[in-house]
Amino acid sequence: MRRLEGKRIAITGPRKAAEMSVIVEKMGGIPLVRPAQGTVALEQEKVEIQLKRLLHDGSDWIIFTTGVGAEMLYQSAEKMGAAEAFLECLQQMNIAARGYKTVKYLKTLGLTPKVRDDDGTTDGIVRALQPYDLQGQRVALQLYGDHAPRLVQWLEAQGAEYYEILPYVHVPPELDIVDTLLTEIVNGEVDAITFTSTPQVRFLMRYARDKGLEESILKSFKEHTVAVAVGKVTAEALRDEGVERVVAPEEERMGSMMVTLAQYYDQD
């Protein structure tokens, strides 16, 4: 199957770039490894401060947006010797969870969310929270190295008193490589760009804005370069950043992502 014949495909995810490159080559494409996500670091000291606040003040709601982030919070509580207190605190709150992996991890802790999304996206968790009155409610929002502007805006509109718990921060990638990618996009030198996480999307678009290139990048995404997302959450981040044309598979897999891209070109 060589349905990406001659297509130049930029790969922004650093973790499985080699695996992705093999898939692209087998389908006849030309892989360009362009990491737009650096390393991930845990700010243990900051997380401990946030956990102490949560344990001391409590909260009416806690929204978990990722399973990994939820697990990291629990592990941080363990390091503080406060794992039991953390679980008891959560049991007193209304829990909302985004994504099946998040729900699955919470169940290992004996916790069942009161609210969960219907499709693994931020829009899904917002829809699920609609029936609840959050006016004046204290809401702890667990994020994963990536801010959720749409969710934050919605919480503000509801009059909730929210604060963020951010277990991870993403250290920027090598900027000269990102500069190369931006130039390639603007010049129409890449046919498609694959995104396997929201931090890749957020960083690339934020960096483009800082360079004064956002309008040119969005124009290229509309007219030439195809934005390809591994799943619904990453696709949602792209649309949130103003990318109108997004190709994404129903099944969140790298292979499925490339097959879906090939099918898109077949129909084009």
Structure confidence at residue 233 (pLDDT) = 87
Look up residue 230 and give its DSSP letter.
S
* Residues in contact with 122: Cβ distance below 8 Å, sequence separation at least 6, in sequence order: 65, 98, 148, 150, 151, 233, 236
Structure confidence at residue 2 (pLDDT) = 59
Which tens digit of pLDDT belongs to each residue from 57-103? 999 999 999 888 899 899 999 999 999 999 999 999 999 999 888 99
Other C-beta atoms closer than 10 Å to the C-beta of 212 total 8
Lookup result for tokens 């390393």: 39
Structure confidence at residue 39 (pLDDT) = 66
Q: Which of 87, 94, 115 is nearest to 103 (CA)?
A: 115
**pLDDT under 50: residue ranges of the chain:** 1
Structure confidence at residue 171 (pLDDT) = 72
* Residues in contact with 235: Cβ distance below 8 Å, sequence separation at least 6, in sequence order: 229, 246, 248
| Alpha carbon distance 180, 169 (integer Å) | 24
Look up residue 51 and give its DSSP letter.
H
Look up residue 171 and give its DSSP letter.
P
| Alpha carbon distance 265, 230 (integer Å) | 17
User: Which domains does the chain possess?
Assistant: 8-38+173-267 (3.40.50.10090), 41-169 (3.40.50.10090)
Q: What does the block give as tokens for 122?
A: 């931020």
Which tens digit of pLDDT belongs to each residue from 110-123? 999 999 998 888 88
Q: What is the pTM of this model?
A: 0.68
